[in-house]
Amino acid sequence: MSSEGSTHALTVSSEEAGERIDRYLASKLPDCSRAQIQRAAKAGVLTVDGVAVKVSHKVKDGQTVAVQLIRPEDPEGAPIPEQIDLDIVHEDDDIIVINKPAGMVVHPAVGHRTGTIVNALLGRQAISGAEKSLQRPGIVHRLDKGTSGLLVCARNESAHRALAVQLKERTMSRIYVAVAWGHFKTETTEFEGAIGRSVRDRKRMAVTEGGRPAKTTATIRERFGLADLLELSLETGRTHQIRAHLTDAGHPIVSDTDYGGGATHLKGIDPARRLLGRAMLKAIDRPALHARQIRLVHPVTNETLTFSAEPPEDFLHLLAICRE
């Protein structure tokens, strides 16, 4: 998502004149949601040539459109501490590395106010008091609800800043494994399509013109009858980056129903092999994606640390089905 609190200024071209300002911004800022634009308008920080406007305003050639993306108000207040068991891979005074189970949400959001990683970290007193007023305390990066694997969180503000710099400068490496439908022609494939919000479905991300630069490298680790086991490394960390890149390449992740990897994918498979495909989908009920390794520099000791976590049972069950 676009950074909360950031301001964007754009100049309208003659081709874009006459378009509603909310649609104009949605096309120019793919990671900016309509809800963010509406919040900006209500707060008076959506302007045209310095004058606040409504989302229905139609832009004109040569005008300067500015929008400040502000943090939404949370009527339910700051996250509450909860006693939730976590699989801790590493913990010290500055960082905590968690092996997140599939199905667990990272931070509170609409519909997921409790039971998240943040609630659990607060319950363990693993986050400094100064950060408890934030909605995403300690969260340096995130994993989707359906993705299992390693997540590093900061225990204090200085560690958070240092880890955020590593993410921005791409010195923190993250390696994933996934089972993707079909077969790649080469052992290693690089994806560099820019990623932004899908025009067809605003809940999804897609490779799209005007999106943010993204790079994923996929290496085949094992070939199966209907799919490949991939090792994926991220040079950037866009929302749904791996899922969007693989789907754009025609190889959606097995059981990733939001990105075409569910039962609908079986329609394109040889009828004689659909039984295997259905068994694969039955083996795992979430995207077959796991964050297996993180390498980072400790924010205080400057030691290079590498953490690993093997895939959980459902992922291993899928691999067993594929190998049969």
Q: Which residues of 271-284 are buried (b: 16+ CB within 10 A; e: fewer)?
A: eeeeebbeebbebb
CB 143 within 8 A of CB 283: no
For the annotated catalytic residues, the residue numbers are 144
d(CA 306, CA 174): 10
CA distances from 47 to 6, 20, 43, 55, 72 (A): 14, 13, 11, 10, 19
Q: How far apart are CA 106 and CA 119, in angstroms?
A: 9
Neighbour count for residue 35 (Cβ, 10 Å): 10
Q: How many CB atoms lie within 10 A of CB 108?
A: 21
